[in-house]
Amino acid sequence: MNPDRAPELHIDADGWCTAARRIESPNSDPRPEGEPVSLVVMHCISLPPGEFGGPYIEELFLNRLDPAAHPYFVDVAPLRVSAHFVVRRNGELLQFVPTTRRAWHAGRSSWGGREGCNDFSVGIELEGCNVLPFEDAQYRCAAALIDALRKRHPVADVVGHSDIAPGRKVDPGACFDWKRLPGVTRPD
């Protein structure tokens, strides 16, 4: 994927993005019967916090994170979490869970009067943190991915983790420029 221009992305019938590097996480399960994807949730992640480029996000989502590799990992290594997608700092797109399955990214959450956002959402993790700007390549990839998701699923809203779990989560954070995602309107 060329990080200097917006990629053309496609989500196939099984829920896999054909341009993403596919790394299947065991941390998923079936969506409730007949539940369409109507929400995209934007997150940010860095492991250890504020550090980028290492193998640790993949290791976390594959349940292989070594708690001895960094003091921060002692608390997060036992977690069983995933997201559908990760967008690396250079715009590389990774996919851990097909969009047809439920990834474990939202936790206790609600949107539009509905609880349990994992049931009806796709989670996109941007490699980053709450206090540093995101990269141009990440915005290009995220915008193309949201467009592909809208072509495949009846996505009505794109929100931050902070919107569905206020007071508990703050990502993607104040440094995330929502205006860089065409067609995305911020919730009131």
Tokens of 24: 């299947």
- Long-range Cβ pairs for the range 106-111 (8 Å, 24+): 106/41, 106/161, 106/164, 106/165, 107/165, 107/168, 107/169, 108/165, 108/168, 109/41, 109/161, 109/164, 109/165, 110/164, 111/39, 111/157, 111/159, 111/163, 111/164
The torsion angle over the Cα atoms of residues 74, 77, 81 and 85, rounded to 10 degrees, is 100
The amino acid at residue 162 is: S
How far from 77 is each of 15, 49, 137, CA to CA, in Å?
27, 14, 29
- Are 168 and 40 in contact, with CB atoms under 8 Å apart? no
> Which one of 35, 125, 127, 135 is the catalytic residue?
125
**Is 115 assigned a catalytic role?**
no
Any idea how long the chain is? Answer: 188
Among all residues, which ones are annotated catalytic?
Answer: 125
